[in-house]
Structure 1
Amino acid sequence: MVTATTTPHRIGVNDVLRLVLELFAFVTLGVWGFVSFVFPLNIVIGLGAPILAILLWALFRSPRAVFSVDVYGKSLVELLVVAATTLAWLDLSQPVVGIVYALVAVVSGVIAGRKELAR
């Protein structure tokens, strides 16, 4: 019987922060869609924007992504979601929230990217 030994992945503070940032992005895109547009377009965008972001994340960025891309491709997808979330906050007339979110997400992404490149 052959068993594979793998080292367990430790979940750190940055991993938890990245999960919170990801969930915040999805909720933000939904709220933005429902608030910024008139009926019936608000239903379409309010549901469609977070679904599109979740789909992109699941296909390319998640730990069990459907498509295997290098760290730069993953970073591009992550930056698209972060940029969309930041622009949504700016459109909602909340620039402080958008800028703080962008700064925290970019710093967290750089830390995670450097960690991933070091492997």
Structure 2
Amino acid sequence: MNLVLRFLLELFALGSLAYWGIQTGKGLNKVLLAIGAPLVIAIVWGIFGSPRAQIQLSMSMHMMLELIVFGLPAIALYATGKHSFAIIYITLAIINRILMYIWGQQ
């Protein structure tokens, strides 16, 4: 169940970044940010952070990457005025990561 939550948090992160792009950008930049921000995070996460990542990072580097990948959407939500969503999201992400560590999940 915790891994399902992790997957949902990843999807929510991408959606949050797309929402941020729509809210932040103007004209063509709106489209570029809405597509580009989630795409960049998805590519970086797929290459370095996912369980089947092509490049395995040390534990400290992986934790730094997780902080960025799961922290940026919270910042983006907060910046667009969705304070409650940002706080709930980052709280769930932190609890999820703690449980992953306790239960030995990747």
**Length-normalised TM-score, structure 2:** 0.91
More helix per residue: 1 or 2?
2
User: Which runs of no fewer than 5 residues in structure 1 stay unpaired?
Assistant: 1-12
1:69 aligns with 2:57: yes
Question: How many equivalent residue pairs?
Answer: 106
Q: 1:104 and 1:86, CA in 2 relative to 1: closer, same or farther beyond 3 A?
A: same
Q: Where does structure 1 differ by over 4 angstroms across 4 or more consecutive aligned residues?
A: none
CA-based RMSD of the aligned residues comes to 1.7
Residue 45 (structure 1) shift: 0.9
Distance 2:96 2:84 in 1: 18
Contact 1:71/1:113 (<8 A) preserved? no
- Matched with 1:5 is none
Residue 76 (structure 1) shift: 1.3
| Residue identity in the other structure for 1:74 | H
Residue 108 (structure 1) shift: 0.5
Q: Which has the larger radius of gyration?
A: 1
- Matched with 2:17 is 29
User: Which runs of no fewer than 5 residues in structure 2 stay unpaired?
Assistant: none
Residue 56 (structure 1) shift: 1.3
